[in-house]
Amino acid sequence: NAGVMQNPRHLVRRRGQEARLRCSPMKGHSHVYWYRQLPEEGLKFMVYLQKENIIDESGMPKERFSAEFPKEGPSILRIQQVVRGDSAAYFCASSPGLGTYEQYFGPGTRLTVT
Amino acid sequence: QKEVEQDPGPLSVPEGAIVSLNCTYSNSAFQYFMWYRQYSRKGPELLMYTYSSGNKEDGRFTAQVDKSSKYISLFIRDSQPSDSATYLCAMTWVSGSARQLTFGSGTQLTVLP
């Protein structure tokens, strides 16, 4: 059973470009979460999605960041007009659904903004 | 005050030692607790999860929860060099639709051969 998959693993963008990070949850999991880990800081929640729905985006920066989890295909975290402060590791996690709370993490995408 | 406080370490122990990792929390709404292990430049790996106060054992790992004191621990018996990693506690509440995990800052553990 494949785990959570994320790609790309490493992404380099110049300031002002767009970054698209993709996440495929574990088989049978319908809930997806995105977290950010800044250098020397802990993991911070960004957004929680189910298929075609954003459930909780309370941790998402108000501007330039968006997320989606379409009916078909992976979840996408999109960062527009990236700035140096966006450089971080972005992790996706998934869980089976209602009644369960443990989350399983992917390997992460390391974004570097130059 | 952070919602979740975790001893940052670093912690260095000899192989075979018993390791105790701890977190305290301030939000009594937290009801579900997890421990993750994260190797350098890798994703967090779920080790243990528990809902109840008391102890839960899985192999060399024991998770302990004391909700009255808002204190959780992870014990590692017979520690191995391969246990060298950063250990993260995480917790969430179980009402409503929210499922976000709140993490401690992590404890860096080194087990010396």
Q: Which of residues 28-87 of A touch B (CB under 8 A)?
A: 31, 33, 35, 41-45, 48, 55-56, 58-59
Average pLDDT for A70-86:
96
The total number of residues shown for chain A amounts to 114
pLDDT per residue as tens digits for the range A7-41: 999 999 999 999 999 999 999 898 999 999 987 78
Give me the pLDDT at residue A87, please: 96
pLDDT per residue as tens digits for the range B69-103: 999 999 999 999 999 999 999 999 877 666 899 99
Query: Whole-angstrom Cα distance, residue A113 to residue A77?
Result: 16
Three-state SS annotation for chain B: CCCEEECCCCEEEECCCCEEEEEEECCCCCCEEEEEEECCCCCCEEEEEECCCEEEEECCEEEEEECCCCEEEEEECCCCHHHCEEEEEEEECCCCCCCCCEECCCEEEEEEC
pLDDT per residue as tens digits for the range B1-39: 779 999 878 999 999 999 999 999 999 989 999 999 999
Task: Note whether A103 contacts B97, CB cutoff 8 Å.
Answer: no
Confidence of residue A82 (pLDDT cuts 50, 70, 90): very high
pLDDT per residue as tens digits for the range A43-63: 999 999 999 999 999 999 999
Give me the pLDDT at residue A22, please: 98
Give me the pLDDT at residue A74, please: 96
Give me the pLDDT at residue A1, please: 55
Task: Note whether A108 contacts B106, CB cutoff 8 Å.
Answer: no
Task: Note whether A101 contacts B42, CB cutoff 8 Å.
Answer: no
Burial bucket for residue B54 (CB in 10 Å: 0-12, 13-18, 19+) = exposed
Nearest CB to B100: which of A59, A108, A110? A59
Task: Note whether B88 contacts A42, CB cutoff 8 Å.
Answer: yes
Burial bucket for residue B46 (CB in 10 Å: 0-12, 13-18, 19+) = middle
Give me the pLDDT at residue B21, please: 97
